[in-house]
Structure 1
């Protein structure tokens, strides 16, 4: 089964370095269900092999006493395991009793924590809880790794300054290694840079993202081992899920179950459609339940703005503020505030003038399942399912047709969609102009090229589908110079990477490089199907 080997190896390296006296704390950030917990739990056996005790605890919306209970229990349990003592698994009182003789200072500190919680002196209890790993080290001589899942939720506890207190403890503790995770990357980065600003350099950030195309394909093939699936249907699943591990797993398991039930060995369009029907359209389906939970958690109306209608518009690529203001009730200020709330929740991403739902499966579910049911007046479940299946088939066929499109024609179509739009790409702002003419032409000896004109300014673009070398860049620059036009933008679309010399030459010559990720982002912003390369 595919694992996050690169990320896991980095954590193991940091773990070994900590055991050798060098500490580099790590923050693992990523969307919900992207694989953070899987990565951490895969790491735990390596922590054990390094003879390090660990606290593994998740911050939740709950009383501080429950968090402290799990924190203390996790530490004592792992210590007794290291000492080859069979510990009690669900009785903290017995864990403390079993550990008292070996860890007298730790046991005394635990009693103080409990007394402070009972007196509702939560600040003192919290600070002493964070001191516990160092007190434990003074008792045992064993270093400790503290793994705080969803650390941004520490603010839910009745503590005056949870992050300031945490920061001070981390700065002072030399025998405790911290790994924190968060499913709210935007909020977590704010905490790390603003509330833990003195520590930001002491936290290495690991960003967990969706699987790339190659890893997604490997995941699908491993889940469907023993069955035959074409590259066409593999690409379709990848496009639909955008490589999200949860969605890949659910869909592949549904496909496998249907194949087993029908005693078939080959994935067909009908099998894939039935799997998506069960997962997405059926109210008891795992993805339906996942998405309805998102709606119930984050999408309450605010200041007169129908948030679900707003998200549906964004899912239909009508996410510019002007489009939202024209279609929704409420003031421009209240709509902007609602969009900001969705950004904070991680549901909407702002890219220049565009508001975008990055989750492609959630986007499809919103417009093809939830919105249709919300607006349905027939009370006929067969009708709503028929509409869903029609939309699903159409989306599948449209994507498969797009896979056969000539890449230059696909790019010309993209350029023609630009409307003087401001976009943020690679931490820079760009204007994508409204072109009066976009065409493919042969210039020089190394074409074809896409030539575009807008208000006296000209762009030249070339697509390279194999790894780009410095010779390719030099040829591109030579042909651009030989043209009768003066080009204000020179763009290379690179789908298979560039060597270092090519990157340096392109950068020094002002060539704008669009890798596959950038190109697909632009296609997605303008409502066009991504280019999936297996």
Structure 2
């Protein structure tokens, strides 16, 4: 079996903590991400390669269960792991009674009850651990939905976690806000607390290097980065699309072959992506009486109307109603609120909405729809190509011109990005250090280093910035910024952005481009894929 290595980018902490558990140190984990399918996929690939004989793994999901089914799933997962067989629960209860009398009798008695509680579930786990005298990994997926099955489950679970040291707990959820609240309150334990893994926090270089490792050697950097730009952070997408690229990419006809790849990925009605995204549309139909207007809002955000004030100006909803709809879409993980800016959380879904779905709902013949969306895709590819090969200084000027006194949170850090307008560029004494100054205002002074940045570069920028004492200071590096340079920037109240931050901002502002430094890529190492 060709097992994908994408788990290494996002679940390396899980692997380290399980290694620690082998040595006697238990650290419970909560894996949090926007896409439930991606979390399960990464766990599948991790467990195929990394199950330790020292442990028994019990893995259950909360989805679509009642209390009895949930209890049965725990029992069945345990028996399957313990015996190395896949059989029915009745078969295991019959054949393992002599080996595990306490566990089997407890299950039989519990199943006779009319009402199985969460206490019964954790008591079953306790019986299993005590009778087998082994260590366990209990993987509970979508744990934030337990409320739909059990009332007041927290206390029983907390007690089990604290007292049963031979069981390591791994929780997963795509409802990040609810999960954080539970972990900060009901499951905030002195003994057995949870370390959080946010799988959507992945940097640009890691994505690039992983994706490149999945692809044929003749694929161009432009093509790789085009896909990195539209795929976002979901590693299922990289794995699935890399296989399609292998069968369709031709460097001699790049734009046409990329169009064919996107057609295979996004337009084939029996394909994974089309089915996934149509289900997302159907979900909106179920949850919103006025779902057509909600889809208009999503299409508008995909098209670049990213601020609430801009969405209000479209007159789809009044301001109060719009806020309510945006909050619900945020809870359903369709969008993320970055401050005063909203983004579609799934980059490829956003691309599909704009280039496929928008055309499909037009009153056109199938032939005309096919023509239009192919033209849309070619336009997107050529647009990215034009911007990709532009001068880096021009790319940064373009980005800065999109700032509108925006308040943005990136990785829980608050940034206030002032309205800048047109900029004039002054070359410093160093050939790769530039100063960018607004034509019309003196409220901002910007520095741009087209390479890695050290503290000498930062000192030179800060000395020049002293001439503009009333200005907000922004420093941008198209490479990395050294720790000492970052400290200097912080001490002198300067916003400092490295290549990862800049590529995030390009994405936030819907600018189809990336900053790409070959030297950084050459020196980077994210592990053996």
Same fold (TM over 0.5): yes
List aligned pairs for 1:459-474, cutoff 5 A. 459-474=444-459
- 1:317 matched to 2:304? The reply is yes
Worse overlay, 38-47 or 386-395: 38-47
List aligned pairs for 1:28-177, cutoff 5 A. 28-32=31-35, 35-44=38-47, 48-81=51-84, 87=85, 89-116=86-113, 119=114, 121-123=115-117, 126-157=118-149, 159-177=150-168
C-alpha deviation, 1:388, in angstroms: 0.6
C-alpha deviation, 1:164, in angstroms: 4.0
TM-score, length basis structure 2 = 0.88
The one of 228, 246, 250 equivalent to 1:256 is 246
C-alpha deviation, 1:532, in angstroms: 4.4
TM-score, length basis structure 1 = 0.87
Partners of 1:34 and 1:209 within 8 A in 2? no
Query: In 2 relative to 1, CA 381–339 (structure 1 residues): closer, same or farther, beyond 3 Å?
Result: same
Q: Which residue of 1 aligns with 2:255?
A: 269
User: SS in structure 2 opposite 1:67?
Assistant: helix
Q: Which residue of 2 aligns with 1:289?
A: 275
Q: Which residue of 2 aligns with 1:84?
A: none
C-alpha deviation, 1:436, in angstroms: 5.6
Partners of 2:436 and 2:447 within 8 A in 1? yes
Q: Which residue of 2 aligns with 1:359?
A: 346
Q: Which runs of 5+ in 1 are unaligned?
A: 82-86
Worse overlay, 195-204 or 468-477: 195-204
Provide the C-alpha distance between the structure 1 equivalents of 2:499 and 2:155, rounded to a whole number of angstroms.
41
Provide the C-alpha distance between the structure 1 equivalents of 2:289 and 2:95, rounded to a whole number of angstroms.
56
C-alpha deviation, 1:39, in angstroms: 3.5
Provide the C-alpha distance between the structure 1 equivalents of 2:416 and 2:48, rounded to a whole number of angstroms.
50
Query: In 2 relative to 1, CA 470–140 (structure 1 residues): closer, same or farther, beyond 3 Å?
Result: same
User: SS in structure 1 opposite 2:443?
Assistant: strand
Provide the C-alpha distance between the structure 1 equivalents of 2:13 and 2:430, rounded to a whole number of angstroms.
46
Provide the C-alpha distance between the structure 1 equivalents of 2:215 and 2:414, rounded to a whole number of angstroms.
42
Query: In 2 relative to 1, CA 110–279 (structure 1 residues): closer, same or farther, beyond 3 Å?
Result: same
Partners of 1:96 and 1:107 within 8 A in 2? yes
Query: In 2 relative to 1, CA 409–392 (structure 1 residues): closer, same or farther, beyond 3 Å?
Result: same
C-alpha deviation, 1:524, in angstroms: 3.0
C-alpha deviation, 1:428, in angstroms: 4.5
Provide the C-alpha distance between the structure 2 equivalents of 1:517 and 1:92, rounded to a whole number of angstroms.
50
List aligned pairs for 1:369-384, cutoff 5 A. 369-374=356-361, 376-378=362-364, 380-384=365-369
Partners of 1:439 and 1:452 within 8 A in 2? yes
C-alpha deviation, 1:49, in angstroms: 2.7
C-alpha deviation, 1:38, in angstroms: 3.8
The one of 380, 383, 396 equivalent to 1:411 is 396
Provide the C-alpha distance between the structure 2 equivalents of 1:396 and 1:424, rounded to a whole number of angstroms.
29
